[in-house]
Structure 1
Amino acid sequence: MEIEAAVVEEEGGAFDIETVELEEPRANEVLVRVVGAGVCHTDMVVRDQLYPTPLPAVLGHEGSGIVESVGSNVTRVEPGDRVVLSFDYDDDCHSCHDGHPAYCEAFFEHNFGGRRPEDGTSPISRDGERLSGRFFGQSSFATHAIATERNVVPVGDDVPLELLGPLGCGIQTGAGAVLNSLEPSAGSSIAVFGAGSVGLSAVMAADLSGCTEIVSIDLEESRLEKAAALGASEPIDPESVDDVVEAVRDRTDGGVDYAVESTGVPAVAEQAVETLTQRGTLGIVGAPPLGAEASYDINDLILNGRSITGIVEGDSAPQEFIPDLVELYRQGKFPFDELVTYYEFDEIEQAVADSENGKTIKPILRVGEP
């Protein structure tokens, strides 16, 4: 079938909407008519080839939509179901069997390879040329996407479908970093570095967890104001203080129990660990370029009992965690819609620009009718 898709031709190139061809779903695949698609920093990371997904490519990995058809082996969803598209995994390795698909041994191949890991094919082509069309198992910057039974998550019909796509990556990454990985106790303290969609999702999750001191650090005043509205007790602009580490320590009686680093800047990760109190834990979720390194004083970690943990996709099992987040949203306890600005599909370049310059926290493209 012919569909419309945003194609990135070359490193740093534009997201150009073109007509391409999409295969029918194979036995374990699902054809989804895309309703909404979140714009995530990772899309720009791949556009700029900081992660090596082959170009030309159709990106997009926070899709939501309606199932149109399913392969012969699919039993979890059927045509007409409303779904969120999340990351893909092999469902066969030790991590997947242990309930941690975000740490799938084949995660990179399934999400950044641009092809089906099983045979190296792509469901998207253009004039006979295969494009990378399995980005995060979906490539949802398109009117239709081929996903797998593994990475489609059914959702109810009482929430706006076009809103839910970012639950598949950015929102679940920030919320899951707190709720699934760090698991702060009520009354504890946390510092969240970066107040984009991931960082603000972490702030909301910390508030849900009962953290009584929630420090939000960002350079954008408007984002700090949003953080305060969503539960942050101590907003800090690094440019307004002499020393960020000392500012966090001063406002939290000597340091925080937990920290989340969502900026992807190694120097910020180095600062974040220094804000921890004894036996504190830093969760790193920001994605720097491959090969990026940060330095730590080993004795400082040892003598203070501090821990550093990497976190992928909020250590989420999407089939369970995304419905939990939807229910929290229904109950008014997780208002992630306050992060969202909508754009029409043909405004994708503006949405990307507004995300990169900080004007918009979480852009969502309206691709089709709910």
Structure 2
Amino acid sequence: MKIKAAVVRDKGGPLTLETLDLEDPRDDEILVRVVATGVCHTDVVVRDGLLPTPHPVVLGHEGAGIVERVGRNVTKVAAGDAVVMTYDSCGECPSCAAHAQSYCHAFFPRNFFGTRPDGSSALSKEGTRIHGNFFGQSSFATHALCHERNVVKVPGDAPLELLGPLACGVQTGAGAVMNALRVPAGASFAVFGAGSVGLSAVMAARVAGATTIVAIDLHDERLDFARSVGATHTLNPSRDDVVASLVALTGYGIDYALDTTGLAKVIRQAAGSLAPRGTCGVLGASAPGTEIVLDEVHFMSGGRRLMGIVEGESDPDTFIPALIELHRQGRFPFDRMVKFYPLDEINTAIADSLEGRTIKPVVRMEA
């Protein structure tokens, strides 16, 4: 079938809207009419060639839409179902067998190689290959193919155009707090970086019952927003000594810290702010080979912990519906971060995100 899609052709260049050919779904694939897709920083990193995803490629990995067709081996969803498309996994490795699919041994090839597992692509233009299957979906398009492992059925009355960000960015921040760090009621929590991931973590910390919730960012407007969704304190590193302030606030350091920046200097601050037996989660990606330097005596002597986190350690089939229900109850207002753009303004959406004008852009796939 013919679809409209945003294609990355040049490293760091604008996405171009093109008419492409999309193959029919295979026996194990699902054809989704995309309603809307969130714009994530990972899309920008891949656009800029910082990860080895081949170009030309259709990106997009926070898609929400309606199932149109399913392959004959698919039983999880049916035509007409409302769905969110999330990250892909193999379902066969030790991590997947342990229901820890965000650490799938094949996570990188399944999500970043731009092909199906057999090396093929379902996308082409005038017979020329366009890479797809990005995060098992490539949803910067009017239609996408996905798989049972990365499709999540959602309630038919849910606000579908809002739900795409739950697939990655929001799931990552909220899941880091609720699934990975397991921040308990009464704990102190600090997040370094108040973008959509960090703000999702703030909302989740409030749901979890943390009593001291600190957001740290260089942009005061983001800090104001963080206070409006649950932060009890905010710090701006341009004028605040972050580590000293966090220790002074609690008297001994933060119980749980989360870095969303991927910057080694910031991770050191996050780890340096920990109380004895405190835990720091790291989920911001940086260039391969980046090293983290810590004060070994401080880190070891207090029994402090540093852990990597991918996709919030979430089981999407249960966690995404849980976030939808929390939103329905008014306890997880992630919709306040969202601004909508039509597909033909996708480059504006990306620019607004990078410049900090929009916290979470979502692109609507208008026909």
Alignment partner, residue 341 of structure 2: 343
Contact map agreement 2:81 2:156 (CA 8 A) in 1: no
Contact map agreement 2:342 2:366 (CA 8 A) in 1: no
User: How many residue pairs end up in the alignment?
Assistant: 367
- TM-score, structure 2 as length reference: 0.99
Q: State the 1:248 CA deviation.
A: 1.6
2:292 pairs with one of 285, 294, 303: 294
Alignment partner, residue 304 of structure 2: 306
Alignment partner, residue 29 of structure 1: 29
Alignment partner, residue 222 of structure 2: 223
Identity among equivalent positions (%) equals: 56
Question: What per-residue deviation string (whole Å, max 9, x for no partner) do you get for residues 172-222 of structure 1?
Answer: 000000000111111110110000010000001111111100110001111
Question: What per-residue deviation string (whole Å, max 9, x for no partner) do you get for residues 197-250 of structure 1?
Answer: 100000011111111001100011111011000110111111122x22112212
Alignment partner, residue 124 of structure 2: 125
| Larger mean Cα displacement after TM superposition, 297-306 or 218-227 | 297-306
Q: State the 1:126 CA deviation.
A: 1.3
Taking the aligned partners of 1:356 and 1:182, their CA distance within structure 2 comes to 28
Alignment partner, residue 158 of structure 1: 157
Q: SS in structure 2 opposite 1:355? A: helix
Alignment partner, residue 179 of structure 1: 178
Alignment partner, residue 203 of structure 2: 204
Matches within 5 A, 1:319-358: 319-358=317-356
> RMSD of aligned C-alpha atoms?
0.9
Q: State the 1:253 CA deviation.
A: 2.0
Taking the aligned partners of 2:341 and 2:148, their CA distance within structure 1 comes to 28
Taking the aligned partners of 1:130 and 1:316, their CA distance within structure 2 comes to 33
Taking the aligned partners of 1:78 and 1:157, their CA distance within structure 2 comes to 13
Alignment partner, residue 361 of structure 1: 359
- TM-score, structure 1 as length reference: 0.98
1:282 aligns with 2:276: no
1:271 pairs with one of 258, 269, 272: 269
Question: What per-residue deviation string (whole Å, max 9, x for no partner) do you get for residues 20-70 of structure 1?
Answer: 110011011000000000000000010111111011110000000000000
Alignment partner, residue 101 of structure 1: 101
Taking the aligned partners of 1:365 and 1:253, their CA distance within structure 2 comes to 44
Matches within 5 A, 1:241-256: 241=240, 243-256=241-254
Q: State the 1:298 CA deviation.
A: 2.2
Unaligned runs of 5+ in 2: none
1:89 aligns with 2:89: yes
Alignment partner, residue 4 of structure 1: 4
Q: State the 1:254 CA deviation.
A: 2.5
Q: State the 1:150 CA deviation.
A: 1.1
Q: SS in structure 1 opposite 2:238? A: helix
Question: What per-residue deviation string (whole Å, max 9, x for no partner) do you get for residues 134-170 of structure 1?
Answer: 1000000000000011111011122210000000000
Matches within 5 A, 1:58-73: 58-73=58-73
Contact map agreement 1:50 1:290 (CA 8 A) in 2: no
1:236 aligns with 2:235: yes
